Structure 1
Amino acid sequence: MSQSRLASCIPLPIDNKLLISVVEKAKDWALMHGVGMRDKKHFSKDSIQIAPFVLLPSPFPRTEFTKAIELQPVLNELMHKVAHNDEFLEKTLQNALQVDDFTAKLYDVWLKVREEGITQSLSLGLFRSDYLMQQPDSNRIKQVEFNTVAASFGAITSNLPTMYRYVMRQLGHGELIKNMPENRALSGLCSGIIEAYDLFAVPSAVVIFVVEEVSYNICDQRFHEFEISEKRPDIMIYRKTLGEIYEETELNDKKQLILDGQPVAVVYYRSGYEPDQYPSTKEWDARLRVERSSAIKCPSIHYQLAGTKKVQQALAAPGVLETFMSEGAVTSRVRDIFTGLYSLDFDEGGERAVEMALADAEKFVLKPQREGGGNNLYGADVREALLRMRHSRERAAYILMERILPPLVSGYVVRPGAAVPPPLSDLVSELGIFGVIIGNKDKIYCNRQVGHMLRTKLADANEGGVAAGLGALDSPYLLDL
């Protein structure tokens, strides 16, 4: 099926001389306003380079953008309820646990904490729900995934509307700025950490950001620290790896997590979502220590488990949503954003899904229980993997998802070190909506939508993760279709 197109916000191509000038201006703007990352090939703590970005804001239907924003608090609450339904998580994950060692280890931490009694009932969720427009379905949004851990780029993308206003004025199209929505994701996400800190209610407490050994996405992380420090100078933030948490923290008799003699109020994970981030038993011991403590976790272990692909697939099954939401228009709106999601368990449904994918592999994506980009399989790789795993329990660690076909748009991707001017390319965009929720099993203290991001990739690229080097940062240009 050929993909439909959305018109760019301005006529293309741009005159070559003007294009070169505006690209250089935009790159300088990006560098001077922190739209940057560290260079993976030539890493230095003393320098950053531009993060890949699209020169023009990408078109997105206003009605679907509004729908995604309105649904975010509903999805926040849904995932909160899922995370607190022990029976549902156990049943949904039981087959994957037998073959996915990483998910099994997370699950084991959860079991240990539950068995000894949960010290901190409050959880903080800084979530992001990701969507593609489905072209055969009138460009309506369909959910790609729901991120419950280390949902990134809220900080950098908060700067992009200002950059695009500058770019549009340089191109002589300042009158179009009114169609570009403001984005306050950074302040919204940070307000969640601050509210959790205040609910902890120990004035001398500190906050830990759990980070990787080497942080390439440093701007996105540091802006959170700078924002919190500006709003609340009394809150001290420490960046620690899981290994450093193992070496430098302890639990006191009140189950407080103690760092340098001070209790920890909030632990915010920007790492800890991939197996490679737990290279030894020390990292797992550190994760267990944090979960056993009174610190408010972002995410708690059960929030992280609720964000697995198996849960996403289970929620899309007939009748499951209704166990968490009352039947009605809102439930129907949530079901409408789901695309086809299928279990690969060893049962009748799993066998049907395997046959379906082998018959037409191009229509599907094979997804493991992972976050962070670069893990999914497409097209011929789906067929090859399913043939290999067909009679192996390994296949239960994956779900099968119908491939979403978004509309194309022409545009320019600006990358560090690439030739200027960039070529005019066919692109597709993925919308992410950020949400904040704080609560326990019995009460939700806050629940809101706080901002958005747009991530755009070349139309022929399967994956779109910016941190993984596959996508580019973007911002929506709202269309009234």
Structure 2
Amino acid sequence: MATCGSYCCDGDFNKDDVSTTRTIESCLPLPLPDEILEDIVPKAKDFAILHGAGMRYRSNYDPDSLQLAPFFLLPSAFPRREFDRVVKLQSIVNILMHRIAHDYQFLKDALEKTIKVDDFTRRLWDIYTTVREEGISQLISLGMFRCDYFYSVPSQIAQQVEINTIASSFGALAARISVMHRYVLGEMRKPELLGHLPENDALAGLCGGMIAAWDAYGCPKAVILFIVEDVTYNICDQRFHEYEIRRQRPDIHVIRRNLTQISQRGRLTSDKRLVIDGDEIAVVYFRAGYEPGQYHSEAEWEARLTVERSKAIKSPSIHYHLAGTKKVQQEIARPGVLNKFLSDSEAKLVSQLFTGLYTLDMSPEGDQAVQMAMDNPERFVLKPQREGGGNNVYGQEIRMVLEKIKDSQEREAYILMDRIRPPIQQNYLIRAHEPVKLVEVVSELGIFGTILGTAKDIQFSKFAGHMLRTKLSSVNEGGVAAGLGALDSVFLFD
């Protein structure tokens, strides 16, 4: 076992062998002695829940109680060089997504085949074209993005998994878990390790974006609207955004409504101001609306259209939402496309974030990608145009899905991506009502960014914090709210 704070590669790594994955050491030698675990685990649990790291569980939902959000006892290792690189690039990625969102022709060309076979994306596109033909009432958009990365063993760089432009979550809980890990290392009498934990102001950064948008709207009596699910399980992460807005600006009020309530109680004035229960809405923050199940009927779709028609500043606006689709991300990775939106030097830097992304259009190029995936499905991930976790297809299931759709246009609802191979490390998984387990895990880094502006004028583009989501190395999906992963924080190593 390597000494505390050191990192090693177990065995030789063959870049052509996707089954081989490098392992890296934890920040402390593992396993920990039983007496240390018995002391530190209850302390970590208490610190986490008392500082708001809680959730409501789907399996035993109770609106009057919280359970501990799943987390890992120790911060997980991530290379400092790559962390710093993606942090520095986030403001450029923000601008890239902003410019793509404001390029109607690019979005149209990218999505024209997808909207023929994916009804949900088509409904979003219909809203976009409707408001565009009517004349967009609010030219300012607020982007609160999260770009997700795995550190890739073969390439030895951080590679982008996806860009989230709607409901980018866990800014609040990520900041709290980072503080909890500082406490844990302190209690374990390892203060020398604290310098490896980067500061994380994700909650303040994201809320700062909403406050700036509220100021830009220019109506002191107007409020911020959070569009939420019918039942909110990830309640702490959402509520802490409200509390942080109030902490920074006591004069700003936040209301929460779901799409059904907006359809019943929202209206537009003659000059396109959005009013709900008597409150004028300055900023709309979508924490729902990203998956079909949140639209129960035409009423919810009408509510989304009403919001989009309004003068309220949206995060995201409908064109930002469309810019975050998987198909658009695949098109961005085509050779030369980045140069349409960024300078040559910026395009070169951003292109290095991408792994292989392939179209499944009904074309020779798409046919080649289908065959490639069927020949070696373990190398790829099959992605539909969905957010929220649990939607991707992996391994042999890719072959099964493609066998059914390879000769139909239905395949154009998907893209194909190279599977990124992150290093494996060990950590202790802590879940409510379960024994603590030492498990093998992989970690996904999320980098938050905020941007505010119109097509012609960007007021700011900023890095806004980070999160780390860690999952068992044996599972494919890693959504915390979906019960597939757990909260974590970054331990940087050189």
Class of the TM-score when normalised by the shorter of the 2 chains:
over 0.9
1:319-358 superposed matches below 5 A: 319-328=336-345, 330-358=346-374
| 1:102-142 CA distance string (max 9 Å, x none) | 0000000001000110000000011000000110112x100
Distance of 1:240 and 1:165 partners within structure 2:
36
Q: 1:20 aligns with which of 33, 38, 53?
A: 38
Amino acid at match of 1:386: L
**2:5 counterpart residue number:** none
Tell me how far apart the structure 2 counterparts of residues 102 and 376 of structure 1 sit (CA, whole Å).
Answer: 16
- The equivalences for 1:78-89 within 5 A come to 78-89=96-107
Q: Within the alignment, does 1:269 sit opposite 2:283 as a pair?
A: no
Report what 1:403 is aligned to.
Answer: 419
Q: Does 1:10 align with 2:28?
A: yes
Aligned equivalents of 2:422, 2:63: Cα separation in 1: 38
Residue 398 (structure 2) pairs with residue 387 (structure 1): no
Which residue identity lines up with residue 398 of structure 1 in the other structure?
Y
Q: Within 5 Å, which residues of 2 pair with 1:58-457?
A: 58-138=76-156, 140-328=157-345, 330-419=346-435, 422-457=436-471
Is the 2:224–2:281 Cα contact (8 Å) retained in structure 1?
A: yes
Give the residue type in structure 1 aligned to 2:72: V
Once residues 99 and 394 of structure 1 are traced to their aligned partners in structure 2, the CA distance between those partners, rounded to angstroms, is 6
Deviations 1:327-357, CA, capped at 9 Å, x for gaps: 12x2111111100000000011100000100
Q: Give 3-state SS (helix, strand or coil) of 1:337's partner.
A: coil
Give the residue type in structure 2 aligned to 1:438: L
CA offsets 1:188-241 (integer angstroms, 9 cap, x no match) = 000000000000001111111000010000000000000111111111111000
Q: Distance in 1 between matches of 2:189 and 2:358?
A: 48
Name the Cα RMSD after superposition.
0.8
TM-score, with length taken from structure 1: 0.98
Distance 2:53 2:427 in 1: 19
Q: Deviations over 1:13-54 (max 9, x none)?
A: 001121122111111111100011012111111111111101
CA-to-aligned-CA distance 1:279-309 (integer Å, 9 cap, x gap) = 1000000000000000000100000000000
2: CA distance, partners of 1:474 / 1:134: 19
Q: TM-score, normalising length from structure 2?
A: 0.95
Number of aligned positions between the proteins: 476
Structure 2 unmatched ranges of 5 or more: 1-18
Equivalences for 1:32-71 in 2 at 5 Å? 32-71=50-89
Which residue number in structure 1 is paired with residue 493 of structure 2?
Answer: 479
Give 4+ residue runs of structure 1 displaced > 6 Å after superposition.
Answer: none
- Same amino acid, percent of matched pairs: 53
**Residues 242-286 of structure 1 deviation map (CA, whole Å, 9 limit, x = unaligned):** 010111111011100012333110010000000000010000000
Measured in 2, the distance between the counterparts of 1:136 and 1:257 equals: 50
Per the TM alignment, residue 161 of structure 1 is displaced from its structure 2 partner at its CA by 2.0
1:20 and 1:287 map into 2 onto residues whose CA distance is 50
Partners of 1:363 and 1:5 in 2: CA distance: 19
Deviation per CA, 1:154-201: give whole Å up to 9, x if none.
011111222111111222212111110110000000000000000000
Query: 1:373-410 CA distances to partner (integer Å, 9 max, x unpaired)?
Result: 00000000111001110111110000000000000111
Q: CA deviation at 1:145?
A: 0.1
Q: 1:137 is paired with a residue of what secondary structure?
A: coil
Contact kept? 2:90, 2:448, Cα under 8 Å: yes
CA distance in 1, matches of 2:184, 2:201: 20
1:90 aligned counterpart, secondary structure = helix
Could you tell me how far apart the structure 2 residues matched to 1:351 and 1:260 are?
Answer: 53
Post-superposition shift, 1:6? 1.2
